Chain A
Amino acid sequence: MIALSALALLILLVVPIWRIDLKAPQYPEGLFMQIHADHFSGDVEKINGLNHYIGMAHIKDEMFPEFAFLPKVIMALAALGIVAAVWGKRVLLFLGLATLTLFGAWALYDMYKWGYSYGHELDPRAAIKVEGMAYQPPLIGHKQLLNFDAWSTPDVGGWILFGVMGLLAGVYFLEIRDMRRIARARRTMK
């Protein structure tokens, strides 16, 4: 089970992890952007074209150092999982779960940070300036940004990540329960 989860993590290398959807009256078909482990995909250029009105920076893969090390981190996490599965030490399982949770939390924080700087650090020469308006995309869920409705949700990879975390937590919970049962049984046997 743990080995399977670890392997599932590898899927994150090839599928999009997160997605941002945009919809406006002029874009009934919608625009979207997907975040992969090492690049963006979707209507990034169209979104950049629109963002220039409000002075948001041009989104380019090269600007994100994360794309260089994220795949390695994911592979390391998967390796840790496999080691835990093979070795069968509970402590390793806990370590895996903990790093994965930390990784997830860091990823969300990182995304928030980028979103914040994109939304707030605007070109002072922007054509459209709205007093007090920032364009930070929602971290998760929906937000209205001028004429656009923006949604931020996990994509396939994100769901796999959450799934693996849940699964590991479940396994860990069962392990703990078994451990306690065994301990209780031992106590009664005494």
Chain B
Amino acid sequence: MRLKLLPIGALLATSVGLVLLFNAMQGCRPSTAQTVVTGDAASKVYVKPGSHDEFYNMVSGGFSGQLAIYGLPSGRLFREVPVFSQDPESGYGYSEETKGMLMTTSGFIPWDDSHHPELSQTDGVPDGKWCFINGNNTPRIALVDLGTFRTTSIIEIPNSAGNHSSPFTTGNSEYVVAGTRFSVPMGDEAHRDVPISTYKENFKGTVSFIHPDPESGKMSIAFQIVTPGVNFDLSHAGKGPSEGWFFFSCYNTEQAYSLLEVNASQRDKDFIMAVNWKMAEQLVKEGKGKRAPGRHYSNWWNESTHSSESTIVEDVLQLDPKEHPGLLYFMPCPKSPHGCDVDPTGKYIVGSGKLAALVPVFSFEKMQKAIAANDLEGDYAGLPVLKYESVLHGEVKKPGLGPLHTEFDANGNAYTSFFVSSEIVKWNVERLEVLDRVPTYYSIGHLCVPGGDSKKPWGKYVIAYNKITKDRYLPTGPELTQSAQLYSIDGDKMELLLDFPTTGEPHYAQAIPAELVTPREVKFFRIDENEHPYVAKGEKETKVERDGKQVHVWMTSIRSHFAPDNIEGVRMGDEVYFHVTNLEQDWDVPHGFAIKGAANAELLIMPGETQTLKWVPDRVGVWPMYCTDFCSALHQEMQGYIRVSPAGSNVPLSGTVVSNLEN
């Protein structure tokens, strides 16, 4: 009996043991990411209905090519401003007037990869006037006017291949810069058609200084500095004591042209390149620059004619630093530096070697001393390299893994993003001491503190722009939303307040108090100031005219009809241009314009504005057109017809508004 019970007892004991063991092991397994959010986080980001956010957050769209506008602290998306990519909902890049904004020497390029928004500055502080953003792919810089939140200027950068290190500004927006990501052979055709393996001899880099006209915002290239062939990554202007200098991070000083992930990661240190732009400006003034081939487009939006104007410039003024000692110095910086950030005092430059296990901080004062003492480590392609130890303020030890970017608060603290260890680390710039760290979900790229790259950070929040979203939101198939996270930095400890989804892929972002932007807001365009060549300033000015195969319709829209709304006499083979003027003179009354089968897009026309849609009919018949913006109680009645007759038809050309009561 006892012998029989023994196995049962053993079995029971084993089972109990297994259960205990299983429970114990649970604690050893990694738990899924649980965010620690304190109880009052919601109240800190709640902006009650009808109230406004405290900050605007201008966030790059990455591969969307656009610029997204959010409110902080709510994280609400207000607008996606079309910049480098066509936008069918507004007609940007489709209407006859806006197409020119996207012209380049490679032709009409209706997309790009926009990375870094940068607000214009006055005395080193964002002023709420403009927001610049770079086109990384087909090298361009765009200027978005914050009065209209529209792209009003785009300049193409010649002798550049990938405009990544851009568009960071000097303290009074005298210049925004463009450093090429790829070095390439340049010059005439014979100099450009070279074996890739001749990188060292033939490939060059450039950093360009672009001047936006303070009144019109129209951009032009002031000068370009030719550098040895490397990859430029990011940059920032000096300020305060370092005003007059610009700092660029560069990697691939190995000058690799293949398998860069290995070949460009060999050297222990790459560089931060310091450029004395005040000196460059002086050299240009003295006529020391040389004109070099550099065909490029400069596109500008004329708000009076509601049309783009493109200028083609054939060459560019270049400076060779080898001919001008003192113009350019290299500072060694560990392991492929990415971020290159200057603290609010302008005394320190933070380099972030993305493969380094530390964050080096350079001292501008020491850099000046090293230059004066000619304290060199050697040269790089004939240009002076300062000694690392001589220019170093110090290193932040064991900060985290994969440092990328740094922003600052007004209290002497820095916030650095760490991609690999997926966290934000707060540290003191003067003491180089790590103060706090918070996880991000997941793998943060850029980060943003309101005013955090300027002389006067407003602080309050740090926002993480993450590269991986995974399980943070309801899944939407293989392609997930992109994500940002808002943290409070008011206290000693950073505190996660909010996750919010973003459009495109957010790279860099800037934030500015709303009160600096809202006084500039344009509510509508004045019809009496409209100088569009095809404007109709009232229904009496509407007409339809034929010019060979082109039919031009001077059309108006007002709640709730078009004039004319019956158009006849269009023939197959014609190109019809609808020049639609929105006659409204009130805020928030746009009208849309759409025609069945339009191969391009619809139009969204703001009050007082004229925009043109080209339409090529493909069949005989009567075609509908209508307003796409729910403008009024009778929006659904805002429609009309276009009659298309066969080629050679003798139907007279007419455009009318017919009243049933008069018939």
- Beyond A49-B559, A53-B634, is A125–B659 a contact (Cβ under 8 Å)? yes
| CA of A127 to CA of B633, assembled, Å | 10
The binding surface of chain A is classed by DSSP as helix
**Which among B558, B559, B637, B659 has the highest number of chain A CB atoms within 10 Å?**
B559
Q: Pick from A45, A125, A128: contact of B633, CB below 8 A.
A: A128
Contacts of B654 in A (CB 8 A): none
Q: Does B390 contact A (CB under 8 A)?
A: no
Which residues of B in the span 557-601 have a Cβ within 8 Å of any Cβ on A? 558-560, 584-586
Asked whether B586 lies within 8 Å of A49 as measured between CB atoms, the reply is yes
Nearest B residue to A52, CB-CB: B559
- Beyond A49-B559, A53-B633, is A125–B585 a contact (Cβ under 8 Å)? no
Q: Mark A41-63, 1 if CB is under 8 A from B, else 0.
A: 00001100100010000000000
Contacts of B585 in A (CB 8 A): 45-46
Which residues of A in the span 107-125 have a Cβ within 8 Å of any Cβ on B? 125
Nearest A residue to B586, CB-CB: A46
Asked whether B661 lies within 8 Å of A125 as measured between CB atoms, the reply is yes
| CA of A45 to CA of B524, assembled, Å | 14
Question: Shortest beta-carbon distance, A146 to chain B, in Å?
Answer: 11
Asked whether B558 lies within 8 Å of A49 as measured between CB atoms, the reply is yes
Which residues of A in the span 125-182 have a Cβ within 8 Å of any Cβ on B? 125, 127-128
Asked whether B584 lies within 8 Å of A49 as measured between CB atoms, the reply is yes
Nearest B residue to A125, CB-CB: B661
| CA of A63 to CA of B192, assembled, Å | 74
Contacts of A46 in B (CB 8 A): 585-586
Question: Would you mind naming 12 contact pairs between A and B with Cβ atoms under 8 Å apart?
Answer: A46-B585, A46-B586, A49-B558, A49-B559, A49-B584, A53-B559, A53-B633, A125-B659, A127-B560, A127-B633, A127-B634, A128-B633
Contacts of B559 in A (CB 8 A): 49, 53
Interface size on A, residues (CB 8 A): 7
| CA of A53 to CA of B631, assembled, Å | 13
Q: Mark A62-90, 1 if CB is under 8 A from B, else 0.
A: 00000000000000000000000000000
Which residues of B in the span 621-663 have a Cβ within 8 Å of any Cβ on A? 632-634, 637, 659, 661
Contacts of A53 in B (CB 8 A): 559, 632-634
Chain A interface residues (CB < 8 Å from chain B): 45-46, 49, 53, 125, 127-128
Chain B interface residues (CB < 8 Å from chain A): 558-560, 584-586, 632-634, 637, 659, 661
| CA of A128 to CA of B634, assembled, Å | 10
Top 8 A-B residue pairs of the complex, sorted by shortest distance between their CB atoms: A46-B586, A125-B661, A127-B634, A45-B585, A49-B559, A53-B633, A49-B586, A53-B634
Question: Shortest beta-carbon distance, B458 to chain A, in Å?
Answer: 28
- A49-B584, A127-B633 provided; 6 other pairs, C-beta below 8 A? A53-B559, A53-B632, A125-B659, A127-B560, A127-B637, A128-B633
| CA of A55 to CA of B52, assembled, Å | 37
Question: Shortest beta-carbon distance, B191 to chain A, in Å?
Answer: 62
Nearest B residue to A45, CB-CB: B585
Nearest A residue to B661, CB-CB: A125
Contacts of A128 in B (CB 8 A): 633
| CA of A45 to CA of B585, assembled, Å | 8
**Which among A45, A46, A49, A125 has the highest number of chain B CB atoms within 10 Å?**
A49
| CA of A127 to CA of B659, assembled, Å | 13
Question: Shortest beta-carbon distance, B610 to chain A, in Å?
Answer: 19
Question: Shortest beta-carbon distance, A147 to chain B, in Å?
Answer: 10
| CA of A125 to CA of B658, assembled, Å | 13
Question: Shortest beta-carbon distance, A127 to chain B, in Å?
Answer: 6
Contacts of A49 in B (CB 8 A): 558-559, 584, 586
| CA of A128 to CA of B632, assembled, Å | 12
| CA of A106 to CA of B560, assembled, Å | 39
Nearest A residue to B634, CB-CB: A127
| CA of A5 to CA of B595, assembled, Å | 64
Nearest B residue to A29, CB-CB: B587
Contacts of A127 in B (CB 8 A): 560, 633-634, 637
Contacts of B632 in A (CB 8 A): 53
Contacts of B586 in A (CB 8 A): 46, 49
Contacts of A125 in B (CB 8 A): 659, 661
Nearest B residue to A26, CB-CB: B588
| CA of A53 to CA of B584, assembled, Å | 15
Question: Shortest beta-carbon distance, B45 to chain A, in Å?
Answer: 25
Contacts of B659 in A (CB 8 A): 125
Nearest B residue to A147, CB-CB: B633
| CA of A89 to CA of B586, assembled, Å | 54
Nearest A residue to B637, CB-CB: A127
| CA of A53 to CA of B634, assembled, Å | 9
| CA of A46 to CA of B558, assembled, Å | 12
| CA of A127 to CA of B637, assembled, Å | 10
| CA of A128 to CA of B637, assembled, Å | 13
| CA of A127 to CA of B634, assembled, Å | 8
| CA of A125 to CA of B659, assembled, Å | 10
| CA of A65 to CA of B206, assembled, Å | 72
| CA of A128 to CA of B559, assembled, Å | 13
Contacts of B560 in A (CB 8 A): 127
Question: Shortest beta-carbon distance, B517 to chain A, in Å?
Answer: 19
| CA of A179 to CA of B560, assembled, Å | 67
Question: Shortest beta-carbon distance, B243 to chain A, in Å?
Answer: 43
